[in-house]
Structure 1
Amino acid sequence: MRYGGARPTARGWAFSAVGLVALVGGPALGQRDILRIGVLLVVLVLVAVWSTGRAVRTLELVSRSKDELVEAGVASSVRLSVLGRARAGVRLVVEDAAPLALGGTARLPVPRLREGETLDLEYRVRSEVRGSYALGPATVVAGDVFGLVRARRVLGEPVVLDVLPRVHPLTELTLGELGGARGSSASASAAAAPDDVSIREYRIGDDLRRVHWRSTARRGAVMVRSDEHPGRPDVVVLLDTREGAHRGRGAGSSLEWAISAAASAASHLQRRRHRVRLLHDGTYDPPRELDETSSVRGLMRSLARLRPGAPDGLARSVTELGRAEATLLVAFLGDVDEDDVAPLLAARPLGVPALAVLLRTDDWASAPAPRDSGEGAAEAGPARLERARLVLARAGWRTAVAGPADAVPDVWARLTRVDARGHHSPAPSTREVPS
């Protein structure tokens, strides 16, 4: 616990100066009343220094707690427990430092406490922007009733509060042809399936080689065998975090839109018992060996603390993707062209359904950021984006294009919509994109 000592306020310094002048000038002028006033002022300041310096030591921080997971735009509580007693004539306030993004420093008055009594203090924080913020350290501030002296003492150490990106409710993926296992492996697996295994309805992420065709034909819905799940591969959420691939600033940037969309997709799939791993800047986060609960928290914290990545971040992620196994691939891409997405076609695990959201990043800024010089560098962004989308779509990817006016749930609905024949039929985006 660090003790800052008792120091006079501006009023205290004024009282001290007047008192000293009266102590010197009273005898010189032969005015005892002035001398008495000087003694009174000086003694008053000294008593205030003593009382506040003593009182600031009467509080101890017992515990500090905060909500484990906090979402952007949602208020949460921070709780402090202090032990001690407040002395008469001295006002105690506990201050907990917080950045302006969370509402600024909280000031919590402490009433008079009996010896050994514990007091629980609570305040609310709220941030509209995801991120990792420092809370504290808590400080007890003691002041006399005349406001002459302040004493400060630090209680405990600062803690980190992670504000997660906004998570939007998403619609279920419609059952139907999602792409996937090709050739005879799926059929052979289904044909060899015994009739006495447990059958359930298909969920996105299930291995299509385990489709039970007899039950599917009988019920009119895709059914799968659920007799074995150990070793199920991951669902991979690929996030393009390259700083040069995004536009805009702060909470209104294309990167923040992509992070919120990735968090929504990851949360949506994890709630349905799919193991989700985040891939960005060539790194999987969190590590595969974490248990399910830790994995969920680790993934969300990673998104909360994520910063813009390096120019080669997408290329390194594609390299890592090519070494992985997965049951579903979901990609959120920034400013890309044909050359950026072409490696994704080869890196996509064989037979795995793949979804991609491509962002019209130029719409997040009044003037688009310049790209590398070279052939096609000055080409209009929408045309580049449309050709990149067509490259993915022709390779069997489901695609959707999103701009700043598009809500994440609406884009997800376009991405996952199928028609009566089971074919992907994305609705048009809010802005026409030239081919």
Structure 2
Amino acid sequence: MTLRGRVFVGAGALIALCGMALGLHDLTRIGALLVVLLLLASLLTRRPVSLEAGRSLSPARVPIDGHADVTLTVRNTGRTTSPLLRAEEGLAYALGDRPHLLIPRLRRDEERALHYRVRSHVRGHHTIGPLSVRVSDPFGLTTRSVAVPGHDALVVLPRTLPLLPVLGVPGGSGGESASSPRMALHGEDDFGVREYRIGDDLRRIHWRSTARTGETMVRQDEEPTRRRALVVLDDRACVHAGTGNGGSFEWSVTAAASITALLLGERFEVHLHLASDEGGRAVPLENLDLALDRLAAVQPAERTSAQHMVEALEDFAQHGGGIVVCVIGALTQEDAELCAARAAHGLALVVDRGGFGSGSTDAADLTAQRLALGGWHSSVVHPGDQLPRLWEQLVVGRAAHR
């Protein structure tokens, strides 16, 4: 019931009571008419609303502070013409104020496209929808809100900053050799040949080796193996402080996204692992888009143990190893020593939780020192530190010690 409706019912009741008290039947009828009018208006707003809503986002993935244009298509699935409707689109808080829309009268099976724009300063997977329409009577006495099912999601990607390329990391399954070994048969002239296999191209037959060995031999092309890298993001809530883009968690997500983008761009086989991931096994990333989508959805986890990070380092080492980069919070002495033991030469950005909170602590410095004793190169992250500068210190220091 609207404010006008409350006034009508109050006035009607008052007029009817006055009419009965004064014995004026016409006045009583007028008061009753006002009350009945409100009841009729209420019945009108109870009419079923048969609408379908669909959305298309352009683009569906945007960087922080990027815009996305939303096209909302509303279709009348009822048998009669729909009334003029006011609508409000549901939006996640991070996308700003909810847009207010006006849906014109739609004939049966008619549809209309409405457009609006959203923008987010916050990384994440943000929900758009459902659509809420307000049905009211012609007199504006009553109103009813009806939710039209259906929603979509806008992916706001984390920031990625340009970083210095990794120095001194040759190719190889474990980052130790430049290429895969090739067979050498009966002298230097036969280097890079192997026995013929069914399906090999006959144009690749190496006739000199075939004549010498008496078996059909084919040329073996050099196939460099893919360099491997493990990126570990410590998403435990207990090691982070601060809120929003100025907090340590968002700084860490930006760092992990930037490092992952750099390594994928340098054609590493990148494995991404979160402290909250169960199982301790990091799966290789297929491409940068999937990596950023995953990092866009990361939120602080209510986990206190670093066990899964240690397990991921051990599993990575057992399957060939490679370069290890960790964006972590403070670790206990035992966890720091276990991490250092699982990877001989890692890179670590250790977040000083106290600095992002009420005051600096020594926990991050102690973690960096313990990792350094195990052969790692570490930098402590304080509020205001720039990722490109810290990263440059790490990779240059690593290259200098090789």
- Residues 226 and 107 of structure 1, relative CA distance in 2, 3 Å threshold: farther
Counterpart pick for 1:60 among 37, 51, 76 = 51
Tell me the equivalent position of 2:206: none
Distance 2:20 2:4 in 1: 25
- 1:333 touches 1:359 (CA, 8 Å); kept in 2? yes
- Residues 37 and 330 of structure 1, relative CA distance in 2, 3 Å threshold: same
Are 1:262 and 2:253 counterparts?
Answer: no
- Residues 317 and 89 of structure 1, relative CA distance in 2, 3 Å threshold: closer
1:341 alignment partner AA? A
- 1:80 touches 1:120 (CA, 8 Å); kept in 2? yes
Q: CA deviation at 1:332?
A: 0.9
Q: CA deviation at 1:133?
A: 4.3
Are 1:308 and 2:304 counterparts?
Answer: no
Q: CA deviation at 1:333?
A: 1.9
Tell me the equivalent position of 2:216: none
- Residues 298 and 356 of structure 1, relative CA distance in 2, 3 Å threshold: closer
Distance 1:47 1:323 in 2: 71
Tell me the equivalent position of 1:210: none
- 1:285 touches 1:298 (CA, 8 Å); kept in 2? no
1:297 alignment partner AA? L
User: What runs of 5+ residues in structure 2 fail to find an aligned partner?
Assistant: 193-219
Tell me the equivalent position of 2:326: 331
Q: CA deviation at 1:309?
A: 4.6
Counterpart pick for 1:342 among 328, 337, 341 = 337
- Between the two proteins, the alignment pairs up a number of residues equal to 366
When the two chains are superposed, the root-mean-square deviation of aligned CA atoms in Å is 4.3
Q: CA deviation at 1:342?
A: 2.2
Residue pairs, 1:147-166, within 5 angstroms: 147-159=140-152, 161-164=154-157, 166=158
- 1:103 touches 1:126 (CA, 8 Å); kept in 2? yes
Q: CA deviation at 1:163?
A: 3.9
1:238 alignment partner AA? V
| Cα deviations by residue, 1:363-384 (Å, 9 ceiling, x for unpaired) | 1122357xxxxxxxxxx44652
Are 1:388 and 2:370 counterparts?
Answer: yes
| Cα deviations by residue, 1:244-295 (Å, 9 ceiling, x for unpaired) | 32333444322221122112212333344433221122547997388x25x8
Counterpart pick for 1:413 among 364, 377, 392 = 392
Distance 1:253 1:328 in 2: 27
Distance 1:226 1:30 in 2: 110
User: What runs of 5+ residues in structure 1 fail to find an aligned partner?
Assistant: 1-7, 198-224, 370-379, 426-435
Distance 2:280 2:377 in 1: 24
- 1:278 touches 1:284 (CA, 8 Å); kept in 2? no
- 2:280 touches 2:310 (CA, 8 Å); kept in 1? no
Counterpart pick for 1:26 among 14, 19, 38 = 19
| Cα deviations by residue, 1:41-73 (Å, 9 ceiling, x for unpaired) | 34543453344333x61x512423445434443
- Residues 361 and 280 of structure 1, relative CA distance in 2, 3 Å threshold: same
Q: CA deviation at 1:237?
A: 0.6
Q: CA deviation at 1:303?
A: 4.8
| Cα deviations by residue, 1:6-63 (Å, 9 ceiling, x for unpaired) | xx22331321232243345436535576456436534543453344333x61x51242
Counterpart pick for 2:381 among 386, 393, 402 = 402
1:246 alignment partner AA? H
- 1:398 touches 1:424 (CA, 8 Å); kept in 2? no
Residue pairs, 1:28-427, within 5 angstroms: 29=22, 31=24, 34-35=27-28, 37-38=30-31, 41-42=34-35, 44-54=37-47, 57=49, 59-66=50-57, 67-84=59-76, 91-144=84-137, 146-159=139-152, 161-164=154-157, 166-173=158-165, 175-176=167-168, 189=181, 227-228=222-223, 232=226, 234-281=228-275, 283=278, 288=283, 292=286, 296-297=289-290, 300-313=293-306, 315-324=307-316, 325=319, 326-336=321-331, 339-348=334-343, 354-367=346-359, 380-381=362-363, 383-385=365-367, 387-388=369-370, 390-392=372-374, 395=375, 397-417=376-396, 423=400
- Residues 271 and 82 of structure 1, relative CA distance in 2, 3 Å threshold: farther
SS of alignment partner, residue 136 of structure 1: strand
Distance 2:281 2:68 in 1: 25
- 1:278 touches 1:285 (CA, 8 Å); kept in 2? no
Distance 1:117 1:287 in 2: 50
- 2:377 touches 2:397 (CA, 8 Å); kept in 1? no
1:61 alignment partner AA? E
SS of alignment partner, residue 137 of structure 1: strand
2:134 alignment partner AA? V
| Percent of residue pairs bearing the same amino acid type | 30
TM-score, length of structure 2 as denominator length: 0.73
Distance 1:407 1:75 in 2: 26
Q: CA deviation at 1:153?
A: 1.7
- 2:86 touches 2:100 (CA, 8 Å); kept in 1? yes
SS of alignment partner, residue 297 of structure 2: helix
